[in-house]
Amino acid sequence: MTSQHAAGNEPGSEEDQRGNLHWYWRGVIAAVSLPAIILGASFVGFAALALEAGVTMAQALFMTAFVWALPSKVVLVGAIMAGNGILAAAFAVALSAVRLTPMVVALVPELRAPSTRPWVLYFLSHFVAVTSWVLALQTLRDVPRERRTVYYGGLGSTLILINMCVVTAVYLVARDLPPIASAALLLITPLYFLTSLWGSAREQAGHVAMVLGLIMGPLVHLVWPAASLLATGVIAGLGAYGWHVWKRRAA
């Protein structure tokens, strides 16, 4: 599917004439989407968890802006609740965030133009988390290449801003969520990740990787909890890639 699309299908020159501000705004608009609402609902669950852990509103907002990736924040709050030291907490968060590296590697070639300066890419990489990554992979092809960094800047910063508002709202309003409501909210994140990840797969191998990862993740966690994500990613990812190569040879 990728190869047909990648071959020089750049949008028309009329769109190209529009300035950076226009494309930044288009990124902002793209962020206000159903995935953003679902992510916002997941952030209600996160804010409730942070509140329970004794994290203040200012600290929770700081976390949202500077850590951003939701699974990593959940791990960080979990470490705070468990009374872990700073090194143990950093180690746990780092393990949960290894997945960001391949996500960024996959995104950067679509994001950069020949004239893009490296610091822009380093800065924009902070916005990478599941939702902005999925939205970017789905919509970047319709953006002229020279405007993609500006567009992604609008998309990523708006998603962070929306969820900082969500965290504020939860701290101001919902001091005591009934357990059944927080359980319902906590189920939204994995389910949203599940379907959006399936929808964003470029090739069939992505679906193979996903099914293998879903099955292996909890099983590896039972045997080797400290490195379960990394081990699952490498083994299931290599397996899916092997399937991709084998299928191409057979065809």
Partner 1 sequence: MTFEAFDAWWWPYLFILIAGALATDTWRFLGVYLAGGISEDSDLLVLVRCVATALVAAVIANLIVFPSGALAETHAALRIGAALSGFAGYFLFRRSVLMSIVVAEAVLLTGMFLL
Q: Does 227 bind partner 1 (CB under 8 A)?
A: no
Site for partner 1 in 19-58 (CB under 8 A): 34-35, 38, 45, 48-49, 52, 55-56
Q: Does 83 bind partner 1 (CB under 8 A)?
A: yes
Closest approach of partner 1 to the CB of residue 163, in Å = 15
Contacts of 52 (CB under 8 A, 6+ apart): 81
Residue whose CB is less far from partner 1, 27 or 103: 103
Q: Does 116 bind partner 1 (CB under 8 A)?
A: no
The pair of structure tokens assigned to 197 is 């990840």
Closest approach of partner 1 to the CB of residue 199, in Å = 6
Nearest C-alpha neighbor of 32 from the set 142, 165, 145: 165
Distance CA 191, CA 214 (A): 12
Q: Does 85 bind partner 1 (CB under 8 A)?
A: yes
- How far is residue 235 from each of residues 17, 207, 242, measured CA to CA in Å? 46, 15, 10
Closest approach of partner 1 to the CB of residue 47, in Å = 12
Burial of residue 114 (CB within 10 Å: 0-12, 13-18, 19+) is exposed
In the list 29, 32, 113, 187, the residue contacting partner 1 (rule: CB under 8 A) is: 187
Residue whose CB is less far from partner 1, 25 or 243: 243
Closest approach of partner 1 to the CB of residue 10, in Å = 12
Q: Does 221 bind partner 1 (CB under 8 A)?
A: yes
Phi, psi of 112 (to 5 degrees): -85, 150
Site for partner 1 in 200-219 (CB under 8 A): 201-203, 205-206, 208-218
Q: Which stretch binds partner 1 (CB under 8 A): 16-24, 103-111, 153-161, 165-173?
A: 103-111
Site for partner 1 in 162-181 (CB under 8 A): 179-180
Distance CA 123, CA 149 (A): 10
Distance CA 76, CA 85 (A): 11
* Segment (H or E) for 147: none
Distance CA 76, CA 158 (A): 23
Compute how many residues bind partner 1; rule: CB under 8 A.
109
Q: Which stretch binds partner 1 (CB under 8 A): 13-21, 23-31, 106-114, 156-164?
A: 106-114
Residue whose CB is less far from partner 1, 18 or 247: 247
CA dihedral 141, 207, 96, 242 (to 10 degrees): -100
Closest approach of partner 1 to the CB of residue 51, in Å = 11
Site for partner 1 in 119-148 (CB under 8 A): 121-122, 125-126, 128, 130
The pair of structure tokens assigned to 149 is 């960094």
Alpha helices in 53-178 (DSSP H): 57-66, 70-81, 86-97, 100-111, 118-125, 130-139, 148-173
Residue whose CB is less far from partner 1, 24 or 193: 193
